Amino acid sequence: MNKPLHIGVYPGTFDPITFGHFDIIQRATRLVDRLIVGVATNVGKSPLFSIEERIEMIENELTLHPLASDVEIIVKPFDSLLVHFAKQEGAQVLIRGLRAVSDFEYEFQMAGTNRKLCPELETVFLVASESYQLIASNLVREIARYKGDTTPFVSPQVAEKLEKRFLELIY
C-alpha cells in the first residue's frame, strides 16, 4: 500500500516574499512531501503587490534557488477561510513562522481558532532563523518607500520590483 502523502500549507500575504519567508519554505520541505504556499488575496490589507505579482515573485525565487529535496512546492492563491483551503488541498499540517514574542499572541489565537474549526489540522510553528528574525514584509515596504536599501532582506529581483512599484506610485 502506498504511504499517504504528508501535505502542508504555508499561508501568508507575502507582500513581498522576504528571505525570512524563503527560509521557512525551505525548512518546511523537510517536514512534508508536498508544500502548498498559499498566497492570501487579502484585500483587507490592501497589498502593495497584486496576487499575480506576489505569486510570480515567489515562483521566481523558487526557480532561482531550487531546493535540494524533491518535495513538490506549489504556489497558489486563496480567498477563503484558511481551514477550507487547507482541507481542499488535502493538507494535514499548517506551517507558520514565529519571529518574536510579538508574533505569539496573534499566532496562538489563530492556531486555537483553526483547531476549533478543523481539529484534524495541526499547526506547526517554525522558529525564525537567527539571521532572519527581524525581517518583516511591512518593514521592507517602508524601507523601499523611502528609497532605502532592501537587499539585506529580499532578493535583488524583489528589491527591484519594490523600487519600481514606489516609483510608479509617485509618478
Which positions are annotated as active-site residues? Answer: 21, 45, 99, 137
Q: Indicate the residue among 2 and 162 with the shorter CB distance to ligand ADP.
A: 162
Integer CA distances (angstroms), 62 to 7, 58, 114, 158, in order:
18, 6, 28, 13
Task: Give the span between the Cα atoms of 171 and 137, in whole angstroms.
Answer: 23
Give residue 56's region: left, alpha or beta (phi > 0; psi -120 to 50).
alpha
Binding window for ligand ADP (CB under 6 A); candidates: 7-15, 71-79, 114-122, 159-167: 7-15
Question: Does residue 96 interact with ligand ADP by CB under 6 A?
Answer: yes
| Shortest distance in whole angstroms from residue 80 CB to ligand ADP | 15
The site for ligand ADP (CB under 6 A) is made up of: 12-14, 18, 20-21, 24, 96-97, 99, 103, 128, 132, 135-137
